[in-house]
Amino acid sequence: MHFLLALFFLVLAWRNGEGASDDPAIPFMEYLDSDHLVCLKWGFSDLNGTITFTLIINTTGWVGFGLSPNGGMRGSDIVIGGLGPHGSYFADRYATGDTLPLVDKQQSYTLLSVGEAEGQTTMTFQRPIQSCDDQDFHITAKPIKLIYAYGINDDISYHGQCRGTKEVNLLNYMPRVTLPSLSYFSVTMNNVLIPPIETYYHCRILKLQKLQKKHHVYRIEPVIKNPDIVHHMLLYSCHSSVNETLDNSCNIVNDRTLCINMVTGWGTGGGAFELPENAGIPFGGETNDRFYRLEMHYNNPTTEEGRRDSSGFKLYYTAQLQQHDVGLIDVGVVISQTYKIPPNATQFHTYGVCNTTLFSKLHPGPVPDLHAFAVGLHTHLAGRKVRVGLFR
């Protein structure tokens, strides 16, 4: 059995397949935002033919969709359209920066239909998968950063916060067709009172249901009750010597080193994470942990009093074991009193390295074959850029 390893930088950044469309001509579907206000459906029958998109957005204004090299506008292949007072409008465009995209001289996209109903705009269009237009993004069987934006009316102007991006593999999409099980663990805070201070970390050690046989967690959903103050949360499994629950400030937890094996995490802007269909996080069995520590970072910049919270996770699990086990590792820099950013520094680089050749010293027995398949990045206020590299 291979052992799959998800690389972490403090917190997991999530990607999840949403499932199948009800139209056989466009069988794939993905929500591009966490609030499920922007839905994309697509389909194709021949890699040398055309690809058809249906974009559904909760607005009656203009809608835009694009293929981006990096998640931003510059270099993106974009279409903008809608249904205005004088009928439909639609154009193939390209972006040279953070300004209104220019109309492409070669209109590679074709509008098939556009309509409005119940506060939504639905726009269906298509283009050749293989395009000879230099301003068109080349669609391949690799993940592509999809971008979207929309307005509240048909005046095509600055979108403000009505925008977003999501990485999707259009030509090699593998959604989870059916959910293996609806059983889940609920791991949340218990109506914790958040003190009137800017930064507060709360820890809860809780005992989960005992599963006699090994199961696999296949989906992790954040349960965020107060999105304005919950900054991030982490879930760790505890050593077998931990046998008592706890619910208190992390600063007064006696020995947090007994609960340091990361299970999952979430940071502001994240959504649900669904593992590949052939992989799962092992839970249960005779040798598995039963106590877990949930650590929550609350950011309360206005020092508001009287706020309570019960945020946490839902961990969906199944007895149907997958081919691969998933493990997690956090990589970064340990902050201590000796870590100091020089005053007035315009840049300050720090590096954390995980040398997998040393795993044999940490893992009992032979080191399994490791395959990295997901990564998440997270910083606090001083962080400006963060990236991870995988060297083979």
As annotated, the active-site residues are 201, 378
Cα distance between residue 335 and residue 159, in whole Å? 38
- 38-44 and 50-57 as β-strands: parallel, antiparallel, unpaired? antiparallel
With beta carbons less than 8 A apart as the criterion, state whether 240 and 289 touch: yes
Cα distance between residue 324 and residue 54, in whole Å? 34
Q: Which residues pair with 293 in a beta bridge?
A: 205, 236
What are 270's two structure tokens? 């994240």
**Residue that the structure tokens 């008592």 belong to:** 244
Q: Which residues pair with 53 in a beta bridge?
A: 42, 125
Q: Which residues pair with 320 in a beta bridge?
A: none
**Residue that the structure tokens 């040393």 belong to:** 358
Q: Which residues contact 39 (CB under 8 A, 6 or more apart)?
A: 29, 30, 31, 32, 55, 56, 57
